[in-house]
Structure 1
Amino acid sequence: MASSYDKFQRRRLISSYFSVVISIFLVLFLLGALGLFLIHSEKISNNFKEKIPMSVYFKDEANDSILKAFDAELASKNYLKGYVFISKEEAAANNKDIVGEDFMQFLGMNPLPNSFDLNLLGAYVESDSLAQIEADFKNNPHIAEVIYDKRLVDLANENIKRITYWTLIISGIFMVISMLLINSALRLSIYSNRFVIKTMQMVGATKAFIRKPFIKRSLLLGLIGSVLAIIGLIILLVYVNKWFPSLGILQDYGAMAIVFVGVLLFGFFITFVSTFFATQRFLNLRTDDLY
């Protein structure tokens, strides 16, 4: 009978430890994922904004020397991520592929201008910066027109700021909830040992001595949960990098180190604090209150 009871208690204890580890893992994984998003939010937003092109169209009288001079000028600009020259002939061929017919056959001429498609660095894809760059280009008498999607730029910047703002709020709320969840799981784990705690106290053991094994065990559970969370985050990073290699997330070792160390330290911190106060609560209870 005692053997069956001991087995039942052991299973219940293992189940309690398992639930604590799973709670720590899920909470730290989600917090780590939010942390990675916040760290890489600028890189993600820049990656999107750098895909918004600015097209510079030249007048028909602009000859090859003028176009080459402008090409050399662009090479010296520090706000450009890249650019490509599109000749009149290339523009006509691209238009033919889109429309499906050669418009020059019935026009008898090529009305499309020579142009440059520019991709600016994300930090310069702002309304003020773009307006200044546009004004500088228009000072060139050979440039006929500068075109970019102003509305898309405004929407991109507004949405990025809004997403970052709400992510910070959600991260703060989730951190509080996570602390409560982990604290609750650890308290339930310690609750099953409340009689052991009181018995040790009654035979003269100090509070620090009683707390020590519980804190050690909780720190071990926190370590296991943190390591599982870090493994989950690595898998997440590999998956994201597979679909968005241009972000270079796996090459950002500094950001990964910050998040992984943060996950590990937070796992230790929350388990230590929760276990300390949970054991303290049962140490301060009267024997009658244990029931």
Structure 2
Amino acid sequence: MSSSFEKYQKNRLISSYFSVVLSTTLVLFLLGVLGLLVLNTKKVADYYKEKIALTVYLKDSAKDVEIKQLQKTLALAAYTKSADFVSKETAAANLTEDIGEDFVNYLGENPLLNSLDVYMNAQFVSGEQMETIAAEIAEKNFVSEVSFDKPLVSKLNANIKRVGLGILITCIFFSLIAALLINSSIRLSVYAKRFTIKTMQMVGATKSFIRKPFIWNSVKMGIIAAILALAGMAGVLYYVNKSLPQLQLANDKVLIGSVFAGIFLIGVLITWISSFFATQRFLNLRTDQLYY
């Protein structure tokens, strides 16, 4: 009889530990993924910003030396990521491929102009700055026109701000949820041992002596949960980096290390704090209050 009861208690204890570890792992994993998303939002935004080109159309009278000099000047400018020359023949071929029709044969001539596609560093991709740069380049007498997709730039910047704010609010919300869920799981685990706590207290054990094994067990569960969550995060990061290598999400080792270290510390701290206060609560209860 006693053996069956002990076995039942042991299975119940294992089940309690498993539920704490599982719930903590899931919460930390979600929090970690959101953290990576928040910290990589700028990198993703910069990637798309730097795909927007400022196109400099050159007059047919422009000399090769003038074009090369302008390309070199633009390439060395602080706002430029790259400056690529696109000949009128290449532009015609690209347009023919896009529309599916050889318009040059239809018109009898190529009406397009030679151009320079200037891809800018992300911090300069805004309507105001690009307009200023475009006006400066347009002053060259061999430049026909300078243009860029201003509505696209404005919409992209507005969406980036909106998405960034949304992700930040979501991250804060889930951080609070994480703390509450982990705290609830730890409290349920300690609640199952409330009679053991009161028995130890009645035989003269100090509060710190009673709290110590509970806190240590909770911290160990927090460490296990954090390791499992970090393994899941590493898998997600590997998959995303393999699927979208152009974003180079795995290149910033310091950033990734900071997120991983933060999740590990959160797992340890929340379980420690939750266990401390949960144990303290039952230590302060009278014996008759343990049944409620």
Verify: 1:143 aligned to 2:143, yes or no.
yes
Q: Distance in 1 between the 2:117 and 2:90 partners?
A: 13
Q: What's 2:102 paired with?
A: 102
Q: What's 1:199 paired with?
A: 199
Q: Is the 8 A contact 2:71 2:83 kept in 1?
A: no
Unaligned stretches of 5+ residues in structure 2 = none
How many residues are treated as equivalent by the alignment?
Answer: 291
- Which residue identity is paired with 2:158? E
TM-score by length of 2: 0.96
Q: Distance in 2 between the 1:93 and 1:173 partners?
A: 51
CA deviation after TM superposition for structure 1 residue 96, in Å: 2.5
Q: What's 1:118 paired with?
A: 118
Deviation string 1:27-63 (CA, Å, 9 cap, x unpaired) is 1111111111121111111011111122111112112
Q: What's 1:73 paired with?
A: 73
Q: Distance in 2 between the 1:175 and 1:107 partners?
A: 63
Q: Distance in 2 between the 1:174 and 1:79 partners?
A: 38
CA deviation after TM superposition for structure 1 residue 69, in Å: 1.4
Task: Please state whether the residue corresponding to 1:146 is helix, strand or coil.
Answer: strand
Verify: 1:289 aligned to 2:283, yes or no.
no
Deviation string 1:63-102 (CA, Å, 9 cap, x unpaired) is 2122111111122112112222111111222223233343
CA deviation after TM superposition for structure 1 residue 247, in Å: 2.0
1:149-168 residue pairs with structure 2 within 5 A?
A: 149-168=149-168
- Which residue identity is paired with 2:189? S
Q: Distance in 1 between the 2:203 and 2:274 partners?
A: 25
Q: Is the 8 A contact 2:71 2:84 kept in 1?
A: no
Q: Distance in 2 between the 1:52 and 1:106 partners?
A: 31
- Which residue identity is paired with 1:120? M
Out of 125-134 and 217-226, give the one that drifted further: 125-134
Q: Distance in 1 between the 2:108 and 2:166 partners?
A: 56
1:209-288 residue pairs with structure 2 within 5 A?
A: 209-288=209-288
CA deviation after TM superposition for structure 1 residue 238, in Å: 0.5
Deviation string 1:86-123 (CA, Å, 9 cap, x unpaired) is 11111222223233343233433221100111211111
Verify: 1:29 aligned to 2:29, yes or no.
yes
Q: What's 2:9 paired with?
A: 9
Q: CA 1:99 to 1:177, structure 2 compared with 1: closer, same or farther past 3 Å?
A: closer
CA deviation after TM superposition for structure 1 residue 273, in Å: 0.5
TM-score by length of 1: 0.96
CA deviation after TM superposition for structure 1 residue 244, in Å: 1.7
- Which residue identity is paired with 2:118? L
CA deviation after TM superposition for structure 1 residue 145, in Å: 1.3
Q: Is the 8 A contact 2:137 2:146 kept in 1?
A: yes
Q: Distance in 1 between the 2:235 and 2:119 partners?
A: 32
Q: Is the 8 A contact 2:61 2:142 kept in 1?
A: yes
Aligned-residue RMSD, C-alpha: 1.2
Out of 19-28 and 101-110, give the one that drifted further: 101-110
Task: Please state whether the residue corresponding to 1:212 is helix, strand or coil.
Answer: helix
Q: Is the 8 A contact 2:32 2:233 kept in 1?
A: yes
Q: Distance in 2 between the 1:123 and 1:92 partners?
A: 32
Q: Is the 8 A contact 2:74 2:118 kept in 1?
A: no
Unaligned stretches of 5+ residues in structure 1 = none
CA deviation after TM superposition for structure 1 residue 184, in Å: 0.4
Deviation string 1:235-287 (CA, Å, 9 cap, x unpaired) is 11101101221222212110011111101111111001100000000000100
CA deviation after TM superposition for structure 1 residue 9, in Å: 1.4
Q: Distance in 1 between the 2:179 and 2:41 partners?
A: 25
Q: Distance in 1 between the 2:167 and 2:100 partners?
A: 45
